[in-house]
DNA sequence: GTCTATATGTGGATAGAC
DNA sequence: GTCTATCCACATATAGAC
């Protein structure tokens, strides 16, 4: 049961959008990547706007699943925060790719209004989950200096996204590590960010 | 002595790039905005790549001047940090515009390699200046909890940029305020972020 | 320095055969 | 479900008159 064409198109489009923005890839690119003709793409996604909606829906579901996975495998707030930072660090792909939310935010004017709504829903989902992580870290004492979990979330999501951006600007993942190091160090028992950057 | 055509083109192009990305505006847009024909633009900027270089050079110089202006009018580290946050808040234009650095970072693959170098130089300039602000705030006691000014700078620039992005995603400037509130509150004597958001 | 006219490529999208 | 062929709009860029 190999991946069907529709899924292959979504995978290819997401990679392209995260590397070059929504305006930065074309049906011709997808066609070459997946191995069909560009006219055939319209059978699966009648317009590029429809493709954008499908991409965002898939991304939302995937991140929601990933966060649920972190909850299932990490007990403390601190461990969950570290896992979140790791998740974004891996999505960075060594500075070649942004997360889809950042990519779509910048090219918002090229997107159908439906995607703008999806973007808002995605952010609210993430903000809620991150606030829960900080609340738990506050209660169990595994994240230092938490006063207001909501405010922490409002700062943390932009920080992670800004760190992606900084790393991508120069295709240098160490800029991501530097940007999030102070946040990572707030996790009690953290060894000082060494595990994230590979430094001794 | 009114602004010459070349400057008018730069102003128009910067506004467009910050609102819609480098791929999101065309010579036709600029021509309509400035009031000449699109072919005439090539007299001032032979290619769009050349325009990108000129835009980035101008932006770098302007931000450098703005930071020097903050230094001249604000004595303490805390006051300078507050002024920096205000600078980015004003550049946001109520959620309609990003800073040019963010805009160019996302569309990096569409830009000439020279601009990628300029982007790096810009970031280093800003990181150095911000690190100085934190070092001063550490010495004069006007910014709370500063341990490593370089690390603070590495986190602060991405945070400001990520806050821009979050606000632009939903054209809602209050998301910027929420993202930077914890940072703003570290300034000693700050009233708790009320002055930034207008809340009581 | 600005214009008209045009070249050349590429974008997303459609029609209709297979 | 995929193809060929084609459409139309728009992109950057150039040539040459004024």
* φ, ψ of residue A64 in degrees (nearest 5): -60, -40
B19 contacts A169? CB cut-off 8 A? no
Instruction: Give a yes or no: residue A164 inside a domain.
Output: yes
Q: Is residue B104 in a domain?
A: yes
Which parts of the protein come within 7 Å of strand C, by CB position?
A 25-29, 38-39, 42, 46-49; B 5-6, 31, 36-37, 39-40, 43-44
pLDDT tens readout for residues B116-147? 999 999 999 999 999 999 999 999 999 999 99
Point out the nucleotide closest to A42 (alpha carbon to C1′): C13
The answer to whether residue A163 scores a pLDDT higher than 70 is yes
Least CB-CB distance to A158: which of B107, B151, B162? B162
Residues whose CB falls within 8 Å of the CB of residue B6, separated by 6 or more in sequence, listed in order: B44
What's this model's pTM, rounded to 2 decimal places? 0.95
Calculate the average pLDDT of chain A: 94
Q: Where are the alpha helices (DSSP H) in A92-143?
A: 100-106, 113-140
Domain that holds residue A78: 54-197
User: Which SS3 state, helix, strand or coil, does residue B143 take?
Assistant: strand
pLDDT for residue B198 = 43
What three-state secondary structure class fits A173? coil
Closest-CA residue of B relative to A123 is B166
Tell whether B74 is covered by a domain.
yes
Confidence of residue B2 (pLDDT cuts 50, 70, 90): low
- Look at residue A144 and tell me if it is in a domain: yes
A78 vs A67: CA distance, rounded Å: 14
Tally of domains in chain B: 1
Q: How far apart are CA B113 and CA B92, in angstroms?
A: 27
Residue B42 domain-assigned (yes or no): no
- Indicate whether A34 belongs to any domain: no
Which of residues B167 and B200 earns the better pLDDT score?
B167
Rounded to an integer, what distance in angstroms lies between the CA atom of residue A6 and that of residue B161? 35
Nearest CA in chain A to B160: A162
The neighbouring-strand residues paired with A187 are A143
Domain assignment present for residue A4? The answer is no
- B5-22 confidence digits (pLDDT tens): 999 999 999 999 999 999
- Distance, first Cα to last Cα, chain A: 45
Cα separation of B86 and B88, whole Å?
A: 5
Question: Do the domain assignments include residue B145?
Answer: yes
Note the CA–C1' distance, B8 to D12, in angstroms.
20
Confidence of residue A2 (pLDDT cuts 50, 70, 90): low
pLDDT score of A195 more than 60: no
- Which parts of chain B fold into alpha helices (H)? 5-20, 27-34, 38-44, 48-73, 77-91, 100-106, 113-140, 149-169, 174-185, 194-197
pLDDT in the model for residue A3: 73
Q: What is the structure's pLDDT at B189?
A: 82
For the cut 50, the answer to whether the pLDDT of residue B29 exceeds it is yes
Specify the nucleotide whose C1' lies closest to residue A8 (CA).
Answer: D1
Terminal alpha carbon distance of chain B: 45
Whether residue B151 contacts residue B106, with contact meaning beta carbons closer than 8 Å, is answered with: no
Which bases on strand D have an atom closer than 7 Å to a protein beta carbon?
1-6, 10-16
Determine the distance in angstroms separating the CA of B45 from the nearest CA of chain A, rounded to an integer: 23
CATH code at position A62: 1.10.357.10
Task: Give the contacts of A13 (CB within 8 A, at least 6 positions apart).
Answer: A25, A30, A51, A55
Nearest to A106 among B106, B120, B158 (CB): B106
* Chain segment A18-41, per-residue pLDDT in tens: 999 999 999 999 999 999 999 999
Alpha carbon distance A197, A195 (integer Å):
6
pLDDT at A45: 98
A116-138 burial string, b = 16+ CB within 10 Å, else e? bebbeebbeebbebbbbbbbbbb
């Amino acid at each position: 049961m190999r991946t069907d064409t529709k899924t292959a198109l979504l995978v290819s489009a997401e990679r392209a959008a995260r590397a070059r923005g929504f305006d930065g890839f074309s049906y011709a690119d997808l066609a070459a990547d997946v191995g069909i003709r560009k006219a055939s793409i319209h059978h699966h996604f009648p317009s590029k706007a429809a493709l954008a909606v499908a991409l965002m829906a898939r991304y939302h579901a995937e991140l929601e699943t990933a966060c649920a996975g972190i909850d299932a495998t990490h007990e403390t707030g601190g461990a969950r925060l570290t896992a979140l930072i790791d998740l974004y660090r891996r999505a960075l792909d060594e500075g070649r790719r942004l997360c889809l939310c950042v990519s779509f935010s910048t090219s918002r004017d090229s997107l159908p209004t439906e995607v703008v709504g999806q973007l808002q829903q995605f952010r609210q989902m993430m903000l809620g989950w991150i606030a829960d992580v900080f609340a738990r870290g506050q209660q169990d004492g595994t994240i230092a200096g938490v006063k207001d979990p909501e405010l922490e979330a409002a700062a943390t999501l932009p920080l992670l996204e800004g760190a992606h951006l900084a790393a991508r600007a120069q295709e240098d993942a160490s800029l991501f590590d530097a940007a999030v190091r102070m946040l990572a160090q707030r996790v009690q028992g953290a060894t000082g960010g060494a595990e994230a950057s590979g430094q001794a």
